[in-house]
Amino acid sequence: MEILGGPLFGVAGAGESHGPAITTLVFGCPPGLYVARADVQSYLDRRRPGSNRHGTPRNEKDRVVFLSGLYNEDHEALLAGPQIAVQMGEERFETEGYEAGYTTGEPIAAMVLSTSKKSGDYSQFSGATGQVRPGHTDLVKYHQSRGFVDVRGGGRSSYRSTISDVIGGSIARLFLHQHFGAVLLSSICQVGPLQAKRSLA
């Protein structure tokens, strides 16, 4: 688990690249903030892999499901989120995720399923004699965990771990906009010798 932030607002993320899901816990968010799943989803869509030829070929939909921390007196609006289903043998359990509501001050739990993975592609990286990928944390994680490491897709050191950062950041952005009217902008001003003709600042 990774925890980002400080004593007032923080984000905890868990889950491995090829695990069932990436989970996020946003804590310290004050009550009364309106959060719509579509707003958070729009930021996840921007970081989604498989959307251009320069990134990973892994194509995930990355649909966020909110599980706690929101409330709306209009129960239909609150419970209009994605259906969640778990199959255990012959039994099937179903419920609805939250679509839109106001924060209650309790932790906001969110989940993004991992549905497009090819774990067999990583077998050559496992174990004490496994290959080490340049630019990855395979060797460090192997020694940190005394050999008990999930190398599938990089485990927790995967690009998928940024899902939690995006969920937490989008909720923080909603708070700053709703309470202070803040608008956040960013731009690339210079790449090597190439420089933008004008600054956005």
Q: What is the pLDDT of residues 5-18, one digit of tens each?
A: 667 889 999 988 77
Tell me which residue range forms the domain holding 105.
Answer: 2-195
Residue 63 is encoded by which pair of tokens? 């649909």
On whether residue 180 sits in a domain, the answer given is yes
On whether residue 200 sits in a domain, the answer given is no
**Torsion sign across C-alpha atoms 194, 159, 9, 84:** positive
Predicted TM-score (pTM) of the model is: 0.81
* DSSP-assigned beta bridge partners for residue 88: 91
- Given a cut of 90, is residue 112 above it in pLDDT? yes
Closest CA to 28 of 61, 58, 5: 5
On whether residue 184 sits in a domain, the answer given is yes
Domain count, the chain: 1
Residue 131 is encoded by which pair of tokens? 């290959």
* Interatomic CA distance for residues 147 and 82, integer angstroms: 38
* pLDDT tens-place string over residues 54-92: 666 666 788 999 999 999 999 999 999 999 999 999 999
Amino acid 100 reads A
* DSSP-assigned beta bridge partners for residue 84: 95
* pLDDT tens-place string over residues 130-147: 777 777 777 677 667 776
* Interatomic CA distance for residues 21 and 2, integer angstroms: 15
On whether residue 10 sits in a domain, the answer given is yes
On whether residue 201 sits in a domain, the answer given is no
CATH number (domain holding residue 119): 3.60.150.10
* Interatomic CA distance for residues 53 and 158, integer angstroms: 19
On whether residue 23 sits in a domain, the answer given is yes
